[in-house]
Structure 1
Amino acid sequence: MASGKKFCELINSDQPVLVDFYATWCGPCQMMQPILQETAAKIGDKAKILKVDVDKNPLAASKYQVRGVPTLILFRNGQPVWRQSGVVPAHQLEQVIRQHTLEKA
């Protein structure tokens, strides 16, 4: 997974970056995996999708006040523009990403 510096570089991109804060022991997190794969296939290069294991990256989880997993945060130019905890359906993720790719920061 991305190191701290690399993580900051990735989320500071003009391209939206959806970050899935997850844990390997989390059942709902495992349910998100195929949803994220489906979303990635639909959105192509409109956004990046990153997975951050909160147990291996506690500083990132703490910085963004991730209290439960899964927590999804969409970043644009380093700023969180959307966040939600829990399982999110693929069509909702796709809609949120498309909304933030059409807006120019």
Structure 2
Amino acid sequence: MGLLRLTSKSELDRVIRGSRFALVVFTGLACPACEMYKPVLEKLAELVGKDMPVVEYVVDYDPEPALELGIMGTPTTVVYVDGKPVEGFVGAVDLPDLLEFLAKVASKSDKQLAEKLEKLAEKVKPLYGGLYW
């Protein structure tokens, strides 16, 4: 499954409720950092899309989900577990750092997924050489 680009609360709720784990990145249309982050999210979706949906939620169309979480800036990355937001951060990171973040979150409830994410992070690290983009 590729990167899901959603623009309505009902679509977002359906994806979150239908998944054990979901990664949602709240973005804005006039956000340069969001545009820079998209290739990372697309690659992440390519690597882990079978294990969890990777969602780009554009707040300009329906800001309610972002406001409910108190999100004041984009991009903001939030991990949902069993339909509830559990951890997140503001800003963009490179793919290895994003995979390590997801592995840390997954380690609290799904060791198998956490191990898979850790292995992927180690595999892609040499490709980035400390570069963010």
TM-score, normalised via structure 2 length: 0.69
Per the alignment, residue 89 of structure 2 pairs with: 84
Matched, 1:18 2:30: no
Gaps of 5+ in 2: 1-5, 111-133
Alpha-carbon shift at residue 14 of structure 1 (Å): 4.1
Q: Distance in 2 between matches of 1:98 and 1:46?
A: 12
Q: Give the AA of the match of 2:35.
A: Q
Cα RMSD (Å) of the superposition?
Answer: 1.8
Q: Does the 8 Å CA contact 1:42/1:94 hold for their aligned counterparts? A: no
* Percent of paired sites with the same residue: 24
Q: Does the 8 Å CA contact 1:15/1:101 hold for their aligned counterparts? A: no
Alpha-carbon shift at residue 95 of structure 1 (Å): 2.1
Deviations 1:74-102 (A, max 9, x none): 10111112101001221122123334445
Q: Distance in 2 between matches of 1:46 and 1:92?
A: 18
Q: Distance in 2 between matches of 1:3 and 1:23?
A: 13
Larger RCO (CA within 8 A; separation ≥ 6): 1
Matched, 1:62 2:67: yes
Per the alignment, residue 95 of structure 1 pairs with: 100
SS at match of 2:24: strand
Gaps of 5+ in 1: none
Per the alignment, residue 3 of structure 1 pairs with: 8
SS at match of 2:73: coil
State which structure, 1 or 2, has the greater radius of gyration over its C-alpha atoms.
Answer: 2
Per the alignment, residue 115 of structure 2 pairs with: none
Count of residue pairs the alignment pairs up: 104
